[in-house]
Amino acid sequence: MKAQSNWLGTTSDNIANASTVGYKRADTAFSTLVMPHQPAGGYSSGGVETTIRRSISEAGSVSYTNSPTDIAIVGKGFFVVEDADGTQYLTRAGNFQKDAQGHLLNSGGYRLAGYDYRDGEGPGGDLVTIDLSNAPLIASASTVGTFNVNLPIEAGSVSSIMVDTPPSENGPSTRYTKHLKMTSTGDGGGLGGTTDIYFTKLAENKWEITAFVTYGPGATGFPYDLDGGDVFMASTVLTFDPNTGEVVDGDPRLMPDPADNFYYDFSSLLEEDTANAGAIKLKGNFISDTPQIDRAAGEVPPSANLASSVFARKDTYSGYAGLPSHVAIDMYSTKVGDNTWEVTFFNQADSTAGGFPYGEPGSAPLATRTLVFDPVTGELISGAGAFHVAIPDIGSWSVDLSDMVSKQDYFSTIADGMSISLDLARSSETIQPHLAGSVASQNQVGAKYTSKSALTAYDTAGRAVIVDIYYSKGPDNKWEVSVFDQRDTLTGGFPYGVAGSPPLATTILTFDPTTNRLTGNGVLEVPIAGGETLKLDMSGSTQLAAEFNVSKATFDGSKASNPTGYSISSEGIVSATYDDGQAVALYRIALADVMSPDNMTAVNGTVYLVNRESGEAVMGFPGSGNLGKLYSGAYENSNVDLADEMTNMIESQRVYTANSKVFQTGSEMWDIVNSLKR
């Protein structure tokens, strides 16, 4: 009867806790109790023993709620919770609510534990009670935004003249920082004609590199005739690391003529505080079947510096090639023997009628290198390495020929190129294109503009910074955009600060006349006072026959604010959420698992203690290893099946009643035995 009473007890507990979150049902297991010594020919009755088992590893169903702090574990694992004394327990009861101290308490009064996210994500640290009262007050600076507008195509031009345009615009009023000119003649391999390379500082740590290649003796200069078929252009914008000066963004390789294999590689450019001498590294082909000089006929190489000197190719380098702008260097390439080439350098200022001799006939050149190539592979085997061309009273110029080859089929075997390693002065003046006249970018009283808008950004302290944006129509399909800090004006308009001082940022927007949409990336970088640089993406702007309007304006950053709520990810990251959509990670919920969870010791409040039979708890994160994931806004119900428990209750009651008949019958038998004595 005691055994059946245990069964009835576990059944009644299960029924009572059918609605208890995270409750795990208890079962009563029966086993026979046999007396050790049985009399011969007789039977000594024993009895029955019971063992109480809990189905802790069996998951219950999941119910969904509107509270983000209700958490269900889908899969293996247990929450780690603590009582008021700091003792740790395991549980599946995830109906947590924030108390007055900011702790997450479940219905049993136990506080949820996890790892402080700011101490790292690894479980090597100490578990702490999750405390939502320490969510920080935050303010974030604006760094990125989208600001698309429509600019009325039928508006009148504020100015029809563009000035200080970069070389990529190929306009008549082009301005640039440095210029490198290379002129090639002869048929010794490589790209003939004249190449002009312009280096233009557009903004801090940002330079435009534009190359024009002109075939033949045609005139060069702005504007280049790109429609005639003999002039090709390529341009790129490179961004340099402000600390190392190395290229960190942009395509450093230019190939002006796509039909040719020749390219210019600017990946070795450096932006430094002072511009030092740079280097040119040639990577090209001396065509192997080029005729060599006929010494028997009296031909001499350029190194002889005589009027009769013969060469296969001449290249002239002038401008910013690590040399003063007025210096021009003539480089001659001549085949002087089998698989052997001579490369000779002269100062063009010493030339006679643009050629030999340079200075006194027979005088030594500035430098000479002899290159020997492998007859089979065409690779350079002698004369490699960088060297300096010394120019008296001026300086030296570094040249590297180690990548040169000598092969017959020039175009199909290699991609010919030149690596230009110049140092660009970080202190160079920024070249900024703008409209001529009294327009917004000039920041004068009465400045003219077409339209105006404003936006609100935030500095690092969360202060609102309003900037005014002016749009001024220029020549067809071009608009000037200028940005000013509204705090710098006393009149609500121009001037902002000191008259004539530059705007925070300005650029020229160019629209495709066919699609009336913006060409280029359309990103304007606006430095926010007390904050960071706001990268304003205007690439979705249009130029249509409609009024000026702002079609899209979105920004990051926020004012100083407290959290408006909390969120819990499936990986257990507890974050504070703010009204601007930001989320700041605070904690990461820990999960524990044991080898034999059904053998843990049950404690009041639907929690469990590990013991020797269950094995030690192993800590981890939700979703890692064999641990389950978390679902916020849900909790796990008890795993009790009421239909089964009601059946068990009826059955245990009947068995209990049947066992009571044994006691009743035994009592009657004793009465009969006692009456026999009378």
Question: What is the C-alpha to C-alpha distance for residues 528 and 463, in angstroms, rounded to an integer?
Answer: 11
Q: What is the pTM of this model?
A: 0.61
Nearest Cα to Cα of residue 331 among 320, 351, 350, 315? 315
Contact 139, 559 (CB under 8 A): yes
Q: Which residue has the tokens 């005088």?
A: 363
pLDDT at 668 over 80: no
Question: What is the C-alpha to C-alpha distance for residues 386 and 78, in angstroms, rounded to an integer?
Answer: 67
Q: What is the pLDDT of residues 400-440, one digit of tens each?
A: 888 888 887 544 444 567 788 778 888 888 988 899 999 99
Contact 485, 467 (CB under 8 A): yes
Pair of tokens at residue 145: 């935004």
Q: For residue 191, name the pLDDT band (cuts at 50, 70, 90).
A: very low
Which residues, 6 or more positions from 376, have their beta carbon under 8 angstroms from its beta carbon? Answer: none
pLDDT at 172: 84
Kindly report the backbone phi and psi dihedral angles of residue 675, in degrees, each rounded to the nearest multiple of 5, phi listed first.
-70, -25
DSSP 8-state class, residue 292: P
Nearest Cα to Cα of residue 460 among 409, 527, 515, 406? 527
Q: For residue 515, name the pLDDT band (cuts at 50, 70, 90).
A: very high
Q: For residue 569, name the pLDDT band (cuts at 50, 70, 90).
A: very high
Cα within 13 Å of Cα(177), Cβ side:
22
Nearest Cα to Cα of residue 612 among 621, 602, 599? 599
Which residues, 6 or more positions from 213, have their beta carbon under 8 angstroms from its beta carbon? Answer: 191, 193, 194, 195, 231, 232, 233, 256, 257
pLDDT at 190: 45
pLDDT at 582 over 90: no
The whole-chain average pLDDT of the chain stands at 85
Sign of the CA dihedral running 618, 621, 622, 625: negative
pLDDT at 178 over 90: no
Q: What is the pLDDT of residues 138-177, one digit of tens each?
A: 888 999 999 999 999 999 999 999 899 999 988 888 999 8
Question: What is the C-alpha to C-alpha distance for residues 467 and 434, in angstroms, rounded to an integer?
Answer: 19
Q: Which residue has the tokens 């030594």?
A: 364
Question: What is the C-alpha to C-alpha distance for residues 203 and 507, in angstroms, rounded to an integer?
Answer: 11
